[in-house]
Amino acid sequence: MEAPLDVCAIERLLPHRFPFLLIDRVVELSGEKVVALKNVTINEPFFAGHFPGHPIMPGVLIVEAMAQAGAVLAMSESDRKPEELVIYFMALDQVKFRKPVVPGDQLRLEVEPLRKGGAIWKMKGRALVDGQVVTEAQFLATIAPK
């Protein structure tokens, strides 16, 4: 599978759907890296409560968006059958939130595998806005039958 991937192509790889599909486009995809985009708009359902009058994207959702980008990388391997598999978080490590993400920002999600293949993947990711890192994390995920 080659980038760019639109939302329809992403939905063929991931089980997530609105309002929890947190990546809008994959702009780079190789065996060694995935780069995805998330356009953050005021219409996001979480902004109604986080925080009224001062909208900030929840950090856990930024990490989730990174994980979804990583899942695209893992599920895009040629021998995977996304319709039969699901990928689960197992662990988060070294998570750092550096700057708030607000409506109008575009998250650039860059994820690289540290250990890949088989059922367990270890990845590192970072989210950037206008070239500045806003969030970083390492995470473990497992691929399992649905």
Active site residues: 50
Q: How far is CA 118 from CA 56, 100, 135, 141, 143, in A?
A: 37, 35, 27, 11, 8
CA dist., res. 71 & res. 49, Å (int):
28
3-state secondary structure of 75: helix
CA dist., res. 8 & res. 24, Å (int):
9
Answer yes or no: are the C-beta atoms of 12 and 34 closer than 8 Å: no
Q: Which helix (H) or strand (E) holds 60?
A: helix 59-75
Chain CA centroid to CA 54, Å? 24
